[in-house]
Amino acid sequence: MQKIYNTLSRDIYFDSNFIKPLNSFVTSEFGSIRAANGSFNYYHNGMDFRAKVGQKVISSNSGIVRVASFKYDSGYSVVVDHGGGIYTQYFHLSKVFVKPGIKLAKGDVLGLSGASGMVSGPHLHFGVVVNCVQVNPSVFIEKTDNLFN
């Protein structure tokens, strides 16, 4: 997926503030330590929303689908290009309703939450990439909300 993030689109597809992709609470914050077998493994590069299998997941803003496929670790995954180097990630879905190249409006349903890939239970992993760098999704949503409202 890094190749996709390295492709900078000069076009801007988003139209205002970004929104949460799922109306739920966060179970794992950005930057939390992930451990395997009792030792440090990596820092969490997104945020996890509590979800039952089959809940609607929406696009955080307008954009073009760049990835809609199955990956070993992230399971059924969607990546949306919002232009200007901004991408959002939606991982561990149970179903994907979109295909690469499809244009989405903010709030369009792109799939259903699930437990695909390497997970311990159903949830939605939501990530934000800006100019090839993973950023804190909750701060990103808050800052764009302040900017546009």
- Of residues 12 and 39, more confidently modeled: 12
Only one residue has tokens 């076009």, namely 11
Query: Given pLDDT bands bounded at 50, 70 and 90, which one contains residue 46?
Result: confident
Q: Where are the domains of the chain?
A: 1-148
Longest dimension (CA), the chain: 45
Compute the mean pLDDT over every residue in the chain, rounded to the nearest whole number.
Answer: 88
Q: What was the pLDDT predicted at 8? A: 73
What's the whole-model pTM score? 0.89
140 vs 142: CA distance, rounded Å: 5
CATH number of 1-148: 2.70.70.10
Q: Are 4 and 107 in contact (CB under 8 A)?
A: no
* E-only strand ranges, 26-130: 26-28, 33-36, 39-43, 47-50, 56-58, 63-71, 75-83, 86-96, 103-104, 109-113, 123-130
Token pair in block for residue 86: 């901004």
Please give the helix or strand (H or E) that residue 133 lies within, else none. Answer: strand 133-135
109 vs 80: CA distance, rounded Å: 12
Query: Given pLDDT bands bounded at 50, 70 and 90, which one contains residue 71?
Result: very high
Whether the pLDDT of residue 128 is over 90: the answer is yes
Token pair in block for residue 60: 């955080």
Q: What does the pLDDT look like over 14-37, one tens digit per residue?
A: 988 999 999 998 877 765 666 555
